[in-house]
Structure 1
């Protein structure tokens, strides 16, 4: 994936182009582009995307979906609401208390909060205490002194993630004192970043928050501007979890910041033809409509943002994933985008949009299994991240909402159950969704079934040929000594990758 430095340069380049080559009359977007309002209204200036891959031609596969686990979306103004409702909190608390996976993930949450809020080596705790005191002047002074917000607490987990995790834990613990403190911190933070958001949205290209850039005098902002300030979608999660602890004034302040960043705004991929919405960053950008859902039905909410998000997400699955379940990119690389796409898929499913049952989406389980090499300790797929497999947040989604799916179970067993000392459940990964979707694992810590018997029982073909991706995968079996061969020949890549049984690395 592009480095932060590259993304910063791209943002700066967009701002430079806009400042030097665009007239004020067209500053919100490039000449010839449809305005954001027209895109959000569903207008599309491009010819139809290829009919052979049209979304209408992709069937649904909803068998095995546990709809009860999706829950019902509560009325506007009732929270939490994005991924679960208040009526689901008792069950969540029970799963975090009574299941081995839930206990491990909840312990991880509290360990991370302890480091983020109490480790003197991380000044985010100092900022949190100032925010929780509602001291706007001290917060501005501290951010100015440090020349920016505190660093993130993990890969693409900006400081706002700390607010989310503390709000979630206070909600789980039903701790009113902690809840009121984090509610104040969230509202103060929203007020802290709002002037920068409003200044950025007056800059060129500002109808798309993925290519606008903050003004050079915006205190504490990096070149990603609104995305970093919002924590992508994290300020929305924080509002969702802390809503019950907030005063009306605090809700209004936070809601105003979220509305400023989302109402009438586009994001990466929103202006593209449907069949161009086919790579990882399209999935990442689904954090924008996910953020908007935090204020669903409330003042400042723009329902067009969510509706467009559903169309973009469906296009990503239709064109970015083949009918055989292979992405345009490597298995490991796609997991980065699914950090944001997975919760959006679930949020949309809760609202009646069948994204979990999109046939290409369900087929990714087949793709993950076919690219798993003999030995079950790594994956093989073309592109960056080709030696890693599905991430915890992806497997948690499939295992929780499709609890009887044997393919999801086999993948979970491979990645999570067999990890030494449950290592897959510790670390600085994106934690919220796996925690919300935690379920008991009787096989946790147990060795994998001998000779891949569970994989063989799935009945997957020994030869998998994906004509859309130009990939052929062949194996003699599912045991650790099986021969494995993968051929790939696409417009953008060609490779010949037989796997060695001992170290399972591709031959040069």
Structure 2
């Protein structure tokens, strides 16, 4: 257990650190980010930045010769170092050092300059379609050759080192003709247009720096000829080169591809001060990285993309930031960089080690590499240490997850903080960090609230992105929410599946919000000691969608003559024939794109000013959601949505974890018994109870029999309207749990509707339908332990007042629906509280 003294010390450090987070601010109405924010040096381990040696001395990019004893010591004497070293040796023995497998045979062929054999062998370990595979898609041989050379350097294995050095030099020589073809192409300096963005045969963007890493650590094993040969290829790639990120203004350098582009300056540094070195490539890289941190992260530390996608970019960002810091450009001191840890902490699920947020890879954790860098240079920061504990547990259990970043993991090997008896510090599921229960990021429209810091806490993650301005990695999920409670996640996010019907939103006649998604509007954040609510307007997201805006480019443009963009031309022709498109006048878009001349580039190097197309227009669409704390916490979700004055099928959707089933479902609607009168007097106080639980709960003759204490989730539908004409009552669908295939109904490369979309397997979805002109959904979600926690009693006979009583606690909502806007506001009065909370 952590001592009270240490808790106080941790808190004092946190307060001091947080004081620096608000130093640098950006003007949300400005198209430029602050170029040189005031840096906060507190708690940064500057002593770990060794002096860069003189030109011609290697290693030099990420570490110096003077660092080698320390790296050796950490690999030998730290828990993480031992695990990383063991995995490195095991992986090398199965790949580059194994003469029985193709990649090992390819190393031998390269070391002998047998290029014919190498090319034949290489075909067996390259992946054809990297964008749609779960395998490592970087060039596996140069990625592992750099690791092989690093191990030789650290173990002083001269014999093996010379073989690896020869293979590296030959690999560079084999790549050289492809570099020369690029240099003679339509875009001879644009590395983003060298081959295809995901191509394995080229080093268009992904991990170009692997060749530089290999040269840097194999330098001392190379002959003069091998050094010259490898240096020449690196110079040919980098000299005068740039990526699409160089062509963007500072405020648009805001997503993971920008971070990926940092491989170019890191590659250039491998020949720093030597023949062919272009210092401008490095200098531009520092500018781009600074702009990325400013443009991509909010003041609260939230990325514009999910944890998973953001960490993907840090595979090139980690070595770049480390290399830059060693040269005096220390971007890890930027307040926004220092704030990232807070976002990572708050979107972690209560059960630890799992994370959830929204967009592509919304169910992925932050990468070990990203937090390892933070831990290495901020060793005493408690929040970083707690986050590092979670990713380290995963790494120790499954080291293969760090394969792509093994090189950096070796160099940065460091342990979590430990007590005097060698135990990991017990942060009590985050409680010892003394953080607030609510994390609200106004810039991102994200509210993460919990009732406590423990593994059984109820956590609500509610989001409506108001900051969207281009077609990116976000999903059609404005107003999406997720719930974790009682030690588990009930409503997960998927890896991709970006369409609205695969999220916790409302669909109308089967159609949800448009994709690519347009912005929502955050209306208010309301907080008291007893409850926290957020309210948003999602109308714009239903009204419009964004195609990739390259489809609006003149189809006779020379842009489509390039192989890089030719695949979009047919789609551009189709869109321009079928749809009415207009440049989106939304303030977000105007603020970002006005006055920007992209030339033939744009976001993703292809998309100019976003264009909008009408999608699913509605009169209004509001969602209010919140967590009500107390002895028995619960969530409420109120929806006001109306398409027009006609009746439609509105479906309130909630994605469920794969192991959940409906344990019980019952509609309290004054139903008539088969042989008798109505059970209840007919009033407006009708509700439907749906109880969800694990599929492993024993089931006897169709009746589930949960054991005492079994975690369950009550979904109480307090209101959902029915057809106005009682004769159409039979068209009213039943609530249901669906098993579905999460299959895209659009096909690559854009959003062209039709068959052929990607599939992401099966999933479960709870659907609460309403056939009405306006459904007026009001839903209560209550996690409880069977036989221990009382069930709520609700009274909603008068739709102007809702009473919720759980045990001895009672909450009263005074509701009012605005006849003009259609939005419901309310005042919440909680029993035992002298104050009320107004949510409008």
| TM-score strictly above 0.5 | yes
SS at match of 2:283: helix
Matched, 1:74 2:53: yes
Match of 1:423? Answer: 397
For the aligned residue pairs, the C-alpha RMSD in angstroms reads: 2.7
Counterparts in 2 of 1:120-199, with a 5 A limit?
A: 122-133=101-112, 135=113, 138-139=114-115, 141-146=116-121, 148=123, 150-151=125-126, 154-199=136-181
What's 1:333 paired with?
309
**Residue among 348, 373, 382 paired with 1:406:** 382
Shift of 1:222: 8.9
Query: Which 10-residue stretch deviates more, 375-384 or 170-179?
Result: 375-384
Please state whether the residue corresponding to 1:356 is helix, strand or coil.
helix
Distance (whole Å) between structure 2 residues aligned to residue 349 and residue 430 of structure 1: 19
Partner residue in 2 for 1:96: 75
SS of the aligned residue for 1:398 comes to helix
Whether 2:484 is the aligned partner of 1:500: answer: yes
Secondary structure of the residue aligned to 2:489 is coil
Normalized per residue, the structure richer in strand is: 2
Residue in 1 that maps onto 2:788: none
Equivalent residue for 1:309, pick from 279, 285, 289? 285
Report the Cα distance in structure 1 between the residues aligned to 2:40 and 2:124, rounded to whole angstroms: 44
Shift in alpha-carbon separation, 1:261–1:271, aligned structure 2, 3 A? same
Q: What does residue 439 of structure 2 align with?
A: 464
Q: Would you say 1:283 and 2:259 are equivalent positions? A: yes
Residues 267-301 of structure 1: per-residue CA shift (max 9 Å, x gap): 13111111111001111111111111101111001
Greater shift, 148-157 or 322-331, is seen at: 148-157
Aligned match for 1:62, one of 41, 49, 57? 41
Match of 1:486 among 451, 461, 474: 461
- Superimposed CA distance per residue, residues 340-359 of structure 1 (whole angstroms, 9 cap, x where no aligned partner): 00111111111111211111
SS at match of 2:257: helix
Q: CA deviation at 1:376?
A: 1.0
Deviations 1:374-419 (A, max 9, x none): 1113112111121222211112111111111111111111221x44
SS at match of 1:270: helix
* Match 2:66 to one of 71, 87, 105: 87
2:397, 2:314 → 1: CA distance? 21
Distance 1:204 1:412 in 2: 45
In the aligned structure 2, how far is the partner of 1:93 from the partner of 1:448? 23
Partner deviation per Cα, 1:415-442 (whole Å, 9 max, x = no partner)? 21x449x214344342111111112347
Distance 2:36 2:147 in 1: 40
SS at match of 2:309: helix
Match of 1:344 among 297, 312, 320: 320
Aligned position for 1:322: 298
Count of aligned positions: 447
Structure with bigger gyration radius: 2
CA-CA distance at 1:503 after TM superposition: 2.7
Secondary structure in structure 2 of the residue aligned to 1:101: helix
Distance (Å, rounded) in 1 between the aligned partners of 2:40 and 2:169: 42
User: TM-score, structure 2 length as denominator?
Assistant: 0.51
Residues 163 and 194 of structure 1: is their aligned pair in 2 closer, same or farther, counting only changes over 3 Å?
same
Residue 211 of structure 1, CA deviation: 1.0
Q: Which has the higher contact order (CA 8 A, sep 6+)?
A: 1
Specify every segment of 5 or more residues in structure 2 that has no aligned partner in the other structure, as ranges.
Answer: 1-26, 128-134, 469-476, 492-653, 656-840
Rate the CA distance shift 1:224–1:109 in 2: closer, same or farther, 3 A: closer
Alpha-carbon displacement from aligned partner over 1:232-254 (angstroms, at most 9, x marks no partner): 21110000001111111111100
Partner of 2:347: 371
Please, which of 178, 195, 203 is the counterpart of residue 213 of structure 1? 195
- Cα distance in structure 1, aligned partners of 2:96 and 2:182: 29
Structure-1 residue corresponding to 2:411: 436
CA distance in 2, matches of 1:391, 1:505: 24
The answer as to whether partners of 1:330 and 1:386 remain within 8 angstroms in 2 is: yes
Partner residue of 1:358 out of 325, 330, 334: 334
